[in-house]
Structure formats: C-alpha cells, structure tokens
Amino acid sequence: MSIMHGARDKIVVVTGAAGGIGNAICRTFASLGSHVVVGYNTSKENAEALLLQLENGPHLALKAPVDNSAGMNELAESVKRELGNADILINAAGTTRFVEHSDLKSLDDELIDQIFRVNVRGVISATRAFQHQLSQSGNGVIVNISSIAAVTGMGSNIAYCASKAAVDNLTKSLARALAPAIRVVSVSPGLVDTEFVRGLDQNWRDQQASRTLQKRLATPKEVADAVIAATLLLPFTTGAVIPVDGGRQLA
C-alpha cells in the first residue's frame, strides 16, 4: 500500500519504452496509479499499442529521440503541457549489436558512434531536458538502465560494455551535480529474458543462465521492480548502482 501511495499520480517519463524492459517499467508504474509517458524513437506502433493496454491514466505515447537534444526539449514541453512537471525519469533507451569482442574490424565507427550517442549522450540529453521539471517535483528521481557489462566487460560488444560503464559513472556524477533536488540511480541487469533474447540461440541462452547463481535469466518485471524500489522505497539512495543479475558477478 505504501508503494501505491507513493506512485499514485506521479508523472513518469520512460525513454525506450517500447523495448522489453521499458514496456515492463511502464506497465508496473501504470498499475500503481502513475501517469506514464511512453517514450519511443522509431517504434511508434508498439508504443501506441502499449498505451492502450496501460491501466488507470491518463498516459501518453510521445516521440523521445534521446540522440536529438532539440527533440527531447520538445518532449519535455509536451509532457509539461499535457500532464504537468515530470517526477520520475527512466532512461531505458539503448542500442547495440552483437560483435565478437576479438573482431575489432567489425566494430565499425558508425556502430561505435551510435552506441555512445544513444546509450551515453542520450542519458545526458534526457536529463538536461527534464532537469528543471524534476527539480520542481520535490522528490525528483532519475533511474538509468545500465548493465552488469559495465563491470564484467562481457556483453554484446566492447563498445556496449564501455557505454554502460560510462552510464554508471554518469549516475555518480549526476547524483552529485543534481543533489539534493534530484536523486540519480543505476539499475544494472544481467541478461534479461526479453522477446529479443528469447529469439536467440537456446543453447547460448541456457549457457548464460547457468553462469548466474540463480541459474536463470532476469525477467523484465524483476528489472521493473528494481526501478520501483529505487524510485519509491529507497529515498536515501543516490549515486548507487543496483544489480539485478542473479549473482552473475559472483558465479
């Protein structure tokens, strides 16, 4: 009940909301009575379909091009006009592509630039766009969706791992820079059993699951629940990285 009371009527902006993790975050906040902005870049149809499935309301599906600062400023203006000042910002937008770590030639400059533009600069762009609104909230919170690849150096490619390490560093720097008005936290999943991951090789997925202490992958809902905890249940936590990896780093 305390969670529902804390979430009710909060305005929550989620970038990358059409992805598996973003989808679960939107559903969880909506179920608790928050007003959710389903932020998308190219997946407009998926975002609008999700919007129709969210409980309570009102909610919005709006374009959130995190690599376009002007576009993010337009998003912030639309949120304020339609719903009011944002209370919570979830930076869930991200991009990657599988490239063997030893295959540096296939890790082309365009891919590297895209990964850092979306995964790192996107966090700064979204934070900058919503900083004033969050500071007016009285309890503004930013959650950056990171990855244990930031620590382990194991992930879809080496640029992706580096980008998530940068996100965790940004979390610490932003927490210091925006305090005390805004808290900033990283939620750092291991491999998550999203629709995308379920489409990959089953043997590979089983191998990844076996490398966790829990012997399974994280679910999108478990990541969403960690976000809920960071925003609503841990009011004295900021600049921290919360792992949701089933103990993978210890296995």
Active-site residue list: 160
C-alpha pair distances (Å), 223 with each of 25, 192, 218, 228, 245: 8, 8, 7, 9, 9
CA 8 to the chain's CA centroid: 20
Q: In residues, how long is the chain? A: 251
Residues facing residue 250 across a β-bridge: none
Neighbours of 238 (CB within 10 A): 21
Tally helices (H) and strands (E) across the chain: 11, 7
